[in-house]
């Protein structure tokens, strides 16, 4: 197998029993995943010598594969073990993104659905620094999250992300870092890359799961940690108006865990006490 070693950062990929350095070519023009997007993935993190909730991320990629009609071929604990072996190939100085993936090689009936028996697996680990905890800005995106009836929103599927990408690109074209993305009813669902929280009068609020966005692993971990610390989180339908009137806004996600929002539209915000506590609680738990 020819291997492209010109990866952007140090990268190791496990596929079919071997660890390959760099960005190996795995999908061809006849691969179902290439032209009909039968891909799922998950993302875990290694940083500061910890990989929090790695087991849950490995389990979720299998659940996503099943939801998209693929056939998981690796047990979650095997994926976790491979990831921990792969981490030994890095120097421990830079945060590492841990990305297990499944995709279909062949199509089924008339080529449109995937053939689950052709499911393939790879695990890619690569250096990816976490974004600073100083915060980021958001605007309201003109693009919306699809519903369960229109897209496989119960899977972490690659086909969902071009919509997230255009929301972020449109926001950046207007001078913002990211975007609040609404669902089809006009309620806030998430940002283009993470789950979202607001704080009002010391109480945290986050959009209630309604089938339009993934309820993230870091999101649920943060809710639990805040509850243990005496901070209540309410899951409910939230409007843009709710966010504009918030005392604090922060996001949770695998890439950089807990990060405050410091500007929404033309309103400047500070990283507030609940956001700071959520980040501190997460770091303390991860290192425990």
What tens digit of pLDDT does each residue of 55-83 get?
Answer: 999 999 999 999 999 999 999 999 999 99
Whether 199 and 57 share a structural domain = no
Residue 147 lies in a domain: yes
* pLDDT over 70 percentage in the chain: 98
Is there a domain that residue 206 lies in? Answer: yes
CB neighbour list of residue 147: distance below 8 Å, 6 or more residues apart = 153, 183, 184, 211, 212
Does 73 share its domain with 56? yes
8: alpha, beta or left? (left if phi > 0; alpha if psi -120 to 50):
alpha
Query: Does the pLDDT of residue 7 top 50, yes or no?
Result: no
Is 99 domain-assigned? yes
In a shared domain, residues 111 and 166? no
- Check pLDDT > 90 for residue 108: no
User: 0.85 exceeded by the pTM?
Assistant: yes
Identify the domain boundary among 67, 100, 127: 127
- Residue 90 belongs to a domain with what CATH number? 3.30.470.10
Residue 90's domain comprises 11-127
Q: Does any domain span residue 195?
A: yes
Calculate mean pLDDT across residues 251-271: 95
Domain boundary among 127, 155, 187: 127
One domain, residues 24 and 108:
yes
Residue 233: is its pLDDT beyond 60?
yes
Shared domain for 190 and 150, answered yes or no, is yes
Confidence of residue 135 (pLDDT cuts 50, 70, 90): very high
Task: Return the pLDDT at 2.
Answer: 44
Phi, psi angles (nearest 5°) of residue 57:
-65, -40
CATH number at residue 169: 3.20.10.10
Domain boundary among 85, 101, 127: 127
Residues 75 and 15 in one domain: yes
Give the mean pLDDT of 5-16: 82
Q: For position 242, what pLDDT does the model report?
A: 98
Q: Are residue 152 and residue 188 in the same domain, yes or no?
A: yes
Q: What is the 3-state secondary structure (H, E, C) of 119-178?
A: EEEEEEEEECCCCCCCCEEEEEEEEECCCCCCCCCCCCEHHHHHHHHHHHHHHHHCCCCE
Same domain, 150 and 275: yes
Shared-domain flag, residues 81 and 160:
no
Q: What confidence tier does 158 reach under pLDDT thresholds 50, 70, 90?
A: very high
Q: Please count the structural domains in the chain.
A: 2
CA 111 to chain centre: 29
Q: Is residue 5 part of a domain?
A: no
**What is the structure's pLDDT at 1?**
42
pLDDT of residue 110: 78
pLDDT for 84: 98
* pLDDT, mean of residues 222-245: 98
Q: Alpha-carbon distance 103 to 37, whole Å?
A: 8
Could you tell me if residue 6 is inside a domain? Answer: no
Average pLDDT of span 19-24: 96
Instruction: Note whether 167 and 261 are same-domain residues.
Output: yes
């Amino acid at each position: 197998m020819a291997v492209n070693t010109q990866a952007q950062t140090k990268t190791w990929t496990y596929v079919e029993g071997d660890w390959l350095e760099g960005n190996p070519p795995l999908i061809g023009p006849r691969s179902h995943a290439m032209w009909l997007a039968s891909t799922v993935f998950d993302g875990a993190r290694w940083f500061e010598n910890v990989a929090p909730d790695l087991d849950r991320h490995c389990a979720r990629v299998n659940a996503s594969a099943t939801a998209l009609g693929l056939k998981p071929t690796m047990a979650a604990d095997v994926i976790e073990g491979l990831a921990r072996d792969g981490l030994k190939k890095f120097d421990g100085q830079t945060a590492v993104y841990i990305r297990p993936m499944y995709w279909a090689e062949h199509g089924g009936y008339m080529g449109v659905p995937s053939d689950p028996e052709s499911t393939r697996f790879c695990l890619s680990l690569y250096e990816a620094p976490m974004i600073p905890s100083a915060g980021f800005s958001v605007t309201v995106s003109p693009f919306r999250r699809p519903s369960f009836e229109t897209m496989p929103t119960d899977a972490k599927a690659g086909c969902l992300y071009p919509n997230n990408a255009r929301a972020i690109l449109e926001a950046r074209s207007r001078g913002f870092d990211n975007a609040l993305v609404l669902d089809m009813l006009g309620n806030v669902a998430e940002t283009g890359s993470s789950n979202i929280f607001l704080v009002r009068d010391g109480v945290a609020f986050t959009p209630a799961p309604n089938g339009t966005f993934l309820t993230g692993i870091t999101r649920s971990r943060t809710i639990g940690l805040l509850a243990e610390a005496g901070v209540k989180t309410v899951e409910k339908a939230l409007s843009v108006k709710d966010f504009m009137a918030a005392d604090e806004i922060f996001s949770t996600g695998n890439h950089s865990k807990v990060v405050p929002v410091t500007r929404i539209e033309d309103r400047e915000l500070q990283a507030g006490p609940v956001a700071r506590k959520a980040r501190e609680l997460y770091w303390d738990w991860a290192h425990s």
